[in-house]
Amino acid sequence: MAASFDSDKAAALHRHLHSHLPPEPALRVKALESLLVERGLVSTQTLDSWVEAYTEEIGPKRGAQVVARSWLDQDFRARLLENATEAIKEFGFEGNATGNLKAVENTDTTHNLVVCTLCSCYPFSLLGMSPAWYKAGAYRARAVREPRKVLKEFGVELSEDVAVRVWDSTAELRYLIVPQRPAGTEGWSEVQLAEIVTRNAMIGTDRDLKTGAA
């Protein structure tokens, strides 16, 4: 008996199966993880430890500590802006992703924005894993061509007297933005200040940090 094929049923089955599966990138990651574990190249515990480290311990917390220190210690701030790679060694944060690191500061008249137009170079040893939008082609292309429009989409509206400087990261040079310290934080400790520094502020898609004050 000849086999029969019902395209509608096949399509419905396809949709049903994929409704229970994670997105394609997640599938690829899971497949790669399973292969590495199966071949004994890495253990599940090691992978879990790395994920926890970058989400809970590193994340943007390291960068936030650096920024908070720069707000409190003018000598450190000067060293950071002169040679960020050397300055962050005081924290023990150096690594391959920060081997050549440049810090730039926002001011009343300047706003900085970081992008990687070629791929997605990023100082992950300071900021943790890069956000999905940072790696997206639309952001990488538009941040250079129309940075003010991109910033507006992130909720950052700048007056015309504020210049926007776009910094293009590479495998050899990566950037850390030092946002402005919010008013009303006088007397705050370094720990308190670090808690209000956001990852996006250190990329440049956030500008006015929230203090939680009424």
Beta bridge partners of 168: 115
The domain ranges of the chain are 23-58, 59-203
Q: What is the pLDDT of residue 39?
A: 80
Q: Which of 121, 125, 159, 189 is catalytic?
A: 121
119 belongs to the catalytic site? yes
d(CA 201, CA 213): 19
116 belongs to the catalytic site? yes
121 belongs to the catalytic site? yes
CB 101 within 8 A of CB 88: yes
Q: Which of 70, 116, 125, 169 is catalytic?
A: 116
Q: Which of 120, 125, 169, 189 is catalytic?
A: 120
> What tokens were used for 77?
């701030």
Q: Which of 34, 43, 49, 119 is catalytic?
A: 119
Cα 78 to Cα 84, 105, 138, 170: the distances in Å are 9, 11, 35, 24
Cα 22 to Cα 15, 48, 160: the distances in Å are 13, 19, 44
Q: How many CA atoms lie within 13 A of 157 on its CB side?
A: 1
pLDDT tens digit at each of 214 positions of the chain: 444 545 565 555 555 545 555 555 566 667 777 877 888 887 878 777 666 666 656 679 999 999 999 999 999 999 999 999 999 999 988 777 788 999 999 999 999 999 999 988 999 889 988 888 999 999 999 999 999 999 999 999 999 999 999 999 998 899 999 999 999 999 999 999 999 999 999 999 999 999 985 4
- pTM confidence score: 0.76
19 belongs to the catalytic site? no
- The radius of gyration computed from the CA coordinates of the chain, to the nearest angstrom, equals 22
> Topology of 59-203 in CATH?
Nitrile Hydratase; Chain A (3.90.330)
Beta bridge partners of 115: 168
Q: Which residue's entry shows tokens 């599940």?
A: 44
Classify residue 37 as exposed, middle or buried by CB count within 10 Å of its CB (0-12, 13-18, 19+): middle
> What tokens were used for 154?
């992130």
Quick one: DSSP state of residue 28? Answer: H
